[in-house]
């Protein structure tokens, strides 16, 4: 019988799956809008625009909830890579992904209730949640209220830098999502981490 | 050949040469008339250039604006004027001077009946129709207008003139106005003056088909456009006629066939795609200057408005798609290697 620990409280799991659902919705509609073309039959443009607006506003609300809940529960501490030896642990982790995982070496980091994430995870999640997401959400809100954008910039509409930042951060989130889903298969079994995200119980390697 | 036959041929060739010379004369006269007509027509489209004439006209117009302006209305130079009528015909001299007709003498359109006060009772009816100068334009646009929603009912059509939509004292052509936002504001005002006012709409409205004797009620512009995302933003940045006129070929002026809600464009991709119809519509006068600045498609549109789907950067798109595909390919390859190694390990263990 392998060791199990209760790792993820209900609010984190609900937030995670709501976040996932919204980001997938925003990805599909965002691609439909940005790459709008009669030859590319994705979601109909006006429908995509409406869904993207609504899902975007819900995501902002969910993000605010996430930040507040993190502060209230102290969960924010999980995202802070704990010194000393952060770099060494990152290198060790990267080496495992690049080499050790193929050879069936054990996971270099042991998950505990005190520290859910390995050093690389903590840094990646911190950057995603506290740098990329705010830029994405703020630029999205400016899109909803374009009067907030500068009128003109470098001879172009002032909304252009907002649009480019929104587009690039969106692309980073999509790339993160692909890697994140894939890394979810690197648990004890290919599905054990997905189970953890539903049940909250984590199976040690 | 007999002499009589030669005579006949001579006679025929003589008649033929007479005919030829008549043909030539008619051709020359027709060409001359066409040239003069064309010159007059184009002269009507262009702004008068002679500074002396412009100054002379401006001075002459001062007499009109002495009454027909906000200042004149507040400080009437006479006491015997019909102030109610005057209130309906007030113009800003500065706005007029900047308009298409701003260099002309008011009396060039309004006739000599307005030389003195009281104006001639026939003055209004003697006002020149637009076709007097803009003959070719009117001839070209009339069939389009006749197919328009405004011409569907005779009772409504009878109330419409060019000036119903195009105020000759204010409006400025797109090539002179240049800025698409200003063009949108000016041209949408023409539509919204009626379609956003119950009072003005009622002046033109026909009887409701369902309730004869009762005028058709003005549909609320916001409600009938509620399918359109960012409705108000669209009205600030594009014209109603972008969707409410049929598409025309590139380099052709926008059609005057105003389409009703059934026929109007509802396909967002018409504008929101790389091959945006805005190029042949609102930005038609600017497209010749398109240089794809900084690598942006439709950079000429981007100079005024970021139009998602239309104002893209193909190189940036390729890089982003490439990076996403690399990530996807990377994890798939990583996963495949993991599976291969796991199978090998399993084989060794067994």
For residue A141, the distance in angstroms to the closest alpha carbon of chain B comes to: 14
pLDDT attached to residue A2: 67
A170 pLDDT more than 50: yes
Assess whether B290 and B335 both reside in one domain.
no
Q: Is residue B253 part of a domain?
A: yes
Neighbours of B298 (CB within 10 A): 23
For residue A119, the distance in angstroms to the closest alpha carbon of chain B comes to: 20
| Rounded CA separation A143/A162 (Å) | 8
Choose from A32, A36, A44, A145 for mutation: most chain B CBs within 10 A. Answer: A36
Assess whether B182 and B234 both reside in one domain.
yes
Half-sphere exposure at residue A43, Cβ-oriented, CA atoms within 13 angstroms: 17
B319 and chain A: CB distance < 8 Å anywhere? no
Kindly report, residue by residue over B208-223, the tens digit of the pLDDT. 777 777 888 999 999 9
- A43 chain-B contacts, CB cut-off 8 A: none
* Long-range Cβ contacts of B192-197 (<8 Å, 24+ apart): B192/B221, B192/B235, B192/B240, B195/B221, B196/B221
pLDDT attached to residue B27: 46
Give the E-state strand segments of chain A in sequence order: 4-6, 152-153, 156-157, 201-203
* Long-range Cβ contacts of A3-6 (<8 Å, 24+ apart): A3/A203, A3/A204, A4/A201, A4/A202, A4/A203, A4/A204, A5/A111, A5/A112, A5/A113, A5/A201, A5/A202, A5/A204, A6/A113, A6/A200, A6/A201, A6/A202
- Compare B44 and B172 and report the one with higher pLDDT: B172
Average pLDDT of the segment spanning B305-327:
97
pLDDT attached to residue B42: 44
Average pLDDT of the segment spanning A47-72:
97
B80 pLDDT more than 80: yes
B336 and chain A: CB distance < 8 Å anywhere? no
Is the bond preceding A84 in cis, omega lying within 30 degrees of 0?
A: yes
Domain residue ranges of chain A, discontinuous segments joined by +: 4-8+19-52+69-82+120-203
Kindly report, residue by residue over B242-297, the tens digit of the pLDDT. 999 999 887 788 999 999 999 999 999 999 999 999 999 999 999 988 889 999 99
Average pLDDT of the segment spanning A186-190:
89
Kindly report, residue by residue over A114-166, the tens digit of the pLDDT. 888 999 999 999 999 999 999 999 999 999 998 888 888 888 999 999 999 99
Q: Is residue B44 part of a domain?
A: no
Q: Is residue B79 part of a domain?
A: no
Identify the closest residue of chain B to A169 by CA–CA distance: B320
pLDDT attached to residue B139: 94
Judged by average pLDDT, the poorest of A63-77, A92-106, B38-52, B159-173 is B38-52
Average pLDDT of the segment spanning A57-81:
95
Q: Is residue B141 part of a domain?
A: yes
- A182 chain-B contacts, CB cut-off 8 A: 331, 334-335
Assess whether B295 and B318 both reside in one domain.
no
Cβ neighbors of A196 (< 8 A, separation 6 or more) are: A7, A8, A187, A202, A203
B46 pLDDT more than 90: no
For residue B248, the distance in angstroms to the closest alpha carbon of chain A comes to: 19
8 A C-beta contact, residue A32 and residue A48: yes
Assess whether B172 and B262 both reside in one domain.
yes
Cβ neighbors of B231 (< 8 A, separation 6 or more) are: B222, B225
For residue A197, the distance in angstroms to the closest alpha carbon of chain B comes to: 20
Identify the closest residue of chain B to A178 by CA–CA distance: B328
| Rounded CA separation B229/B224 (Å) | 12
Identify the closest residue of chain A to B266 by CA–CA distance: A46
- Contacts A–B by Cβ distance under 8 A: 86
Assess whether B233 and B170 both reside in one domain.
yes
pLDDT attached to residue B12: 37
Assess whether B273 and B140 both reside in one domain.
yes
Which of B167, B165, B166, B302 has the alpha carbon at shortest distance from B237?
Answer: B302
pLDDT attached to residue A113: 83
Identify the closest residue of chain A to B230 by CA–CA distance: A144
Assess whether B329 and B237 both reside in one domain.
no
Nearest to B324 among A45, A155, A175 (CB): A175
Here the tokens at position B338 are: 């993991």
B349 and chain A: CB distance < 8 Å anywhere? no
Here the tokens at position B340 are: 């291969």
Which of B98, B93, B100 has the alpha carbon at shortest distance from B59?
Answer: B93
Alpha-carbon Rg for chain A in angstroms:
19
B41 and chain A: CB distance < 8 Å anywhere? no
Q: Is residue B122 part of a domain?
A: no
For residue B40, the distance in angstroms to the closest alpha carbon of chain A comes to: 38
| Rounded CA separation A107/A111 (Å) | 10
Here the tokens at position B130 are: 């637009």
Cβ neighbors of B72 (< 8 A, separation 6 or more) are: B65, B66, B86, B90
Do B268 and A45 make contact, defined as CB atoms within 8 angstroms?
Answer: yes
B16 pLDDT more than 70: no
Do A171 and B320 make contact, defined as CB atoms within 8 angstroms?
Answer: yes
Is the bond preceding B118 in cis, omega lying within 30 degrees of 0?
A: yes
- B313 chain-A contacts, CB cut-off 8 A: 164
Three-class secondary structure of residue B207 per DSSP: strand
Q: Is residue B210 part of a domain?
A: yes
Do B272 and A103 make contact, defined as CB atoms within 8 angstroms?
Answer: no
Mean pLDDT for all residues in chain B: 85
pLDDT tier for residue B169 given thresholds of 50, 70 and 90: very high
Q: Is residue B265 part of a domain?
A: yes
Assess whether B248 and B337 both reside in one domain.
no
- For B278-330, give the secondary structure using H, E and C: HHCCCCCCCHHHCCCHHHCCCHHHHCCCCCCCCCCCHHHHHHHHHHHHHHHHH
- B299 chain-A contacts, CB cut-off 8 A: 156
Average pLDDT of the segment spanning B175-191:
94
pLDDT tier for residue B49 given thresholds of 50, 70 and 90: low
Q: Is residue B15 part of a domain?
A: no
For residue A25, the distance in angstroms to the closest alpha carbon of chain B comes to: 17
pLDDT attached to residue B10: 42
pLDDT attached to residue B201: 94
Q: How far is CA B350 from CA B6, B213, B337, in A?
A: 120, 94, 20
B337 and chain A: CB distance < 8 Å anywhere? yes
| Rounded CA separation A66/B129 (Å) | 68
Which of A84, A88, A87, A90 has the alpha carbon at shortest distance from A117?
Answer: A90
Assess whether B214 and B258 both reside in one domain.
yes
Burial state string for A64-78 with b = 16 or more CB within 10 A and e = fewer than 16: eebeeebeeeebbeb
Burial state string for B101-134 with b = 16 or more CB within 10 A and e = fewer than 16: bbbbbbbebbbebbeeeeeeeebeeeeeebeebb
Do B324 and A168 make contact, defined as CB atoms within 8 angstroms?
Answer: no
For residue A41, the distance in angstroms to the closest alpha carbon of chain B comes to: 11
8 A C-beta contact, residue B223 and residue B196: no
Residue A145, classified by CB atoms within 10 Å of its CB into exposed (0-12), middle (13-18) or buried (19+), is exposed
For residue B223, the distance in angstroms to the closest alpha carbon of chain A comes to: 16
B76 pLDDT more than 70: yes
| Rounded CA separation B122/B119 (Å) | 8
Do A101 and B323 make contact, defined as CB atoms within 8 angstroms?
Answer: no
For residue B141, give its domain range: 135-312
User: How many domains is chain B partitioned into structurally?
Assistant: 2
Nearest to B331 among A36, A49, A179 (CB): A179
A41 pLDDT more than 90: no
Do A156 and B302 make contact, defined as CB atoms within 8 angstroms?
Answer: yes
Average pLDDT of the segment spanning B156-179:
92
pLDDT attached to residue A205: 66
- Compare B189 and B50 and report the one with higher pLDDT: B189
| Rounded CA separation B261/B243 (Å) | 9
- B269 chain-A contacts, CB cut-off 8 A: 36-38, 45
pLDDT attached to residue A155: 85
Assess whether B202 and B325 both reside in one domain.
no
Here the tokens at position B178 are: 């240049």
| Rounded CA separation B114/B122 (Å) | 10
Do B316 and A164 make contact, defined as CB atoms within 8 angstroms?
Answer: yes
Do B324 and A102 make contact, defined as CB atoms within 8 angstroms?
Answer: no
Which of B247, B316, B323 has the alpha carbon at shortest distance from A34?
Answer: B316
Mean pLDDT for all residues in chain A: 93
Judged by average pLDDT, the poorest of A70-84, B17-31, B108-122, B141-155 is B17-31
Judged by average pLDDT, the poorest of A60-64, B119-123, B198-202 is B119-123
């Amino acid at each position: 019988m392998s060791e199990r620990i209760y790792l993820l409280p209900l609010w984190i799991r609900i937030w995670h799956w709501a976040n996932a659902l919204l980001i997938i919705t925003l990805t599909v509609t965002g691609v439909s809008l940005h790459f709008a073309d009669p030859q590319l039959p994705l979601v109909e443009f006006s429908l995509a625009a409406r869904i993207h607006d609504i899902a975007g506003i819900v995501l902002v609300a969910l993000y605010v909830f996430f930040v507040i809940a993190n502060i209230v529960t102290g969960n924010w501490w999980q995202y802070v890579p704990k010194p000393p030896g952060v770099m060494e642990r990152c290198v060790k982790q990267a080496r495992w992904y690049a080499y050790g995982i193929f050879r069936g070496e054990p996971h270099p980091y042991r998950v505990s209730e005190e520290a859910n994430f390995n050093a690389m995870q903590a840094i990646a999640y911190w950057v995603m949640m506290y740098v990329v997401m705010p830029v994405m959400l703020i630029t999205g809100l400016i899109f909803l209220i374009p009067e907030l954008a500068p009128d003109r910039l470098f001879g172009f509409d002032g909304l252009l830098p907002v649009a480019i930042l929104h587009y690039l951060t969106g692309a980073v989130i999509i790339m993160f999502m692909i890697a994140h889903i894939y890394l979810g298969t690197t648990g004890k079994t290919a599905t054990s981490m997905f189970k953890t995200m539903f049940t909250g119980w984590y199976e040690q390697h | 050949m007999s002499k009589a036959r030669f005579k006949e041929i001579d006679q025929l060739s003589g008649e033929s040469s007479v005919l030829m010379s008549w043909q030539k004369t008619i051709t020359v006269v027709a060409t001359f008339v066409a040239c003069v007509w064309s010159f007059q027509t184009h002269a009507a489209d262009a702004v008068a250039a002679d500074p002396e004439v412009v100054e002379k006209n401006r001075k002459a117009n001062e007499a009109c604006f002495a009454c027909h302006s906000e200042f004149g209305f507040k400080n009437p130079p006479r006491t015997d004027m019909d102030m109610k009528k005057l209130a309906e015909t007030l113009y800003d001299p500065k706005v007029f001077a900047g308009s298409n007709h701003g260099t002309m003498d008011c009396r060039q359109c309004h006739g000599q009946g307005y030389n003195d006060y009281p104006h001639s009772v026939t003055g209004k009816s003697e006002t020149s129709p637009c076709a007097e100068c803009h003959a070719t334009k009117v001839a070209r646009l009339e069939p389009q207008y006749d197919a328009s929603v405004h011409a569907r009912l005779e009772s409504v059509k009878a109330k419409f003139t060019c000036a119903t939509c195009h105020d000759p004292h204010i409006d400025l052509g797109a090539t002179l106005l240049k800025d698409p936002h200003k063009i949108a504001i000016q041209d949408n005002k023409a539509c919204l003056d009626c379609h956003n006012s119950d009072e003005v709409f009622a002046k033109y409205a026909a009887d409701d088909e369902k309730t004869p004797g009762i005028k058709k009620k003005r549909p609320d512009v916001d409600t009938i456009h509620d399918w359109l995302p960012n409705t108000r933003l669209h009205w600030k940045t594009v014209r109603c006629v972008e969707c409410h006129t049929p598409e025309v070929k590139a380099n052709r002026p926008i059609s005057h066939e105003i389409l009703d809600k059934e026929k109007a464009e509802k396909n967002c991709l018409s504008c929101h795609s790389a091959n945006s119809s805005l190029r042949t519509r609102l930005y038609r006068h600017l497209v010749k200057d398109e240089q794809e600045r900084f690598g942006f498609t439709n950079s000429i549109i981007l100079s005024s408005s970021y139009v998602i789907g239309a104002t893209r950067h193909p190189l940036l798109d390729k890089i982003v798609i490439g990076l996403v595909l690399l990530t996807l390919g990377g994890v798939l390859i990583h996963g495949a290697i993991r599976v291969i190694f796991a199978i090998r390990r399993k084989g060794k263990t067994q």
